[in-house]
A and B are shown apart, each in its own frame.
Chain A
Amino acid sequence: MHELTMAAGILDIVQQNVAAADAGRVRAVRVRVGDMAGVVPDSLEFCFEAIVADTPYAAAFLEIDRVPALATCGECGCFTRLAQPLFVCPACGAMGMALQSGDELQVVDLELDDTVEGAA
C-alpha cells in the first residue's frame, strides 16, 4: 500500500503551500497520475481521505488527472498510446519504446473555495 505514503506526501505538499491561504477553504487538491506510474488512483483517493480526516483539510478531496502512457519508437518514429504494458512498437515491432508521458505523479494545484468564510 505505497499509496498511503503517496497520500502523506500529497498532504505534506498541501501543508507547505497552504500556509498563506486558510486551511478550511481547500476544496480540492489536483494531482496528475500517469497510467505507468504504478499508482492505483482509487487506492490513492481512499488513502488521501483517510489521512486528511483528522486535519484541517478534512473537507478537501483529490481530483485526479489521469495521464495516458504515450511513447515513441526509436526505430520507426511511430508515436502511440500504449494500451498494454508492452513497450513494443505497434507499427514495426521494435522493443523498448521511449515513454513520453505516463510516468508522472505530481501535485498540480489547490482549489480554494472563496465562498467559505476564512479565519484569515
Chain B
Amino acid sequence: MSVVTIERKVLQKNDDLAASNRELFARNGLLVLNIVSSPGAGKTTLLEATIEELKDRARIAVVEGDVQTDIDAQRVARYGVPVVQIVTNGGCHLEAALVAAAVERLDLDQVDLLVIENVGNLVCPANFDLGEAMKVVVLSTTEGADKPLKYPAMFRRAAVLIINKVDLLPYVNVDVEEIKRNAQHINPKLVVFETAATARLGITEWCDWLVARLAAGHA
C-alpha cells in the first residue's frame, strides 16, 4: 500500500473564483450582499422594501438565485432595477462561478449595491463563498428561536441578522430577545435588525445602516 499526499481544500476552486469575484467587486467599488434564509422567511419582500427605500440613494442591482422559477426575479424587476436570474435547476446553493457568469451581464460601473438573493436554504449556502462583502441572514419570527442553534455554520459566517415578520409577534410564541441571544452566542459580532418587510417596519434602520456602509467604502 502506498499513499499519495494531497492536502487540498475540497472547495478550493470555488474559493479561488470567489476571491476573483471579490477583486472585481472591489475594482468597481461595489458593496455586495449575499442574502440567505429558509424558504418563506421573506427575503424577496425584504429586498423589495430595501429597493423602494434606497432607490434614490444608491444604484442597486440584483442577482436572483432560484431553484426552479423566475417569479422572484419578476417581482424585483418591477422596481426598475437591473436583475439577473440564476436558475440552479434543483441546486440548493449558489456558487462563485454562477455569480461570476451572472454579473457579466450587468454594467457594474452603474452599480453601488449588488444584492445576491441566495436559494432558500440555511444549510448549503453557508459553505460557498460568492465573493460578497457580507452574508445577511433573514430569519422570520415564525421559525422559532432555536434556528440559530440548528444552523450554526450559517450564523457564524454571517455579518447581519434580520429578524423579519416582527408584526406577527402577538400571534406567535417566540421571544425576539431569545432569538438574538441564541444567534449572538454563536456569533457575538452579528449586527441585528428587526423588520416587518410587508408592513415596511424597521426598513429605514436597516437601509440607513447600509447607506453608512456604502459611504464608508464598506471595507
Interface string of B183-212 (1 = CB under 8 A from A): 011111100000000000000000000000
A38 touches B1 (CB 8 A): no
Q: Contacting B149 at CB < 8 Å: which of A27, A86, A111? A: A86
Q: How far is the CB of A78 from chain B (nearest CB, A)?
A: 16
B6 touches A108 (CB 8 A): yes
A54 at the interface (CB under 8 A from B): no
Residues of B within 8 A of A106 (CB): 7-10
A52 at the interface (CB under 8 A from B): no
Residues of A within 8 A of B156 (CB): 36, 87
Chain A's interface size range is 35 or more
Residues of A within 8 A of B128 (CB): 2, 5
A114 touches B149 (CB 8 A): no
The interface centre, meaning the residue of A5, A18, A108, A110 with most chain B CB atoms within 10 A of its CB, is A5
Q: Contacting A6 at CB < 8 Å: which of B5, B10, B186? A: B10
Residues of B in contact (CB 8 Å), total 34
A42 at the interface (CB under 8 A from B): no
Interface string of B80-96 (1 = CB under 8 A from A): 00000000000111010
Residues of B within 8 A of A5 (CB): 91, 93, 95, 124, 128
Please, how many angstroms separate the alpha-carbon atoms of A110 and B9 in the complex? 14
B185 touches A95 (CB 8 A): yes
B185 touches A9 (CB 8 A): no
B216 at the interface (CB under 8 A from A): no
Q: Contacting B153 at CB < 8 Å: which of A1, A38, A88, A108? A: A38
B5 touches A109 (CB 8 A): yes
B152 at the interface (CB under 8 A from A): yes
Please, how many angstroms separate the alpha-carbon atoms of A13 and B5 in the complex? 12
A113 at the interface (CB under 8 A from B): yes
Q: Give me 10 A-to-B residue pairs in the complex whose CB atoms sit less than 8 angstroms apart, sorted by A's number.
A: A2-B92, A9-B14, A13-B6, A36-B152, A37-B127, A38-B126, A85-B152, A96-B188, A109-B6, A110-B6
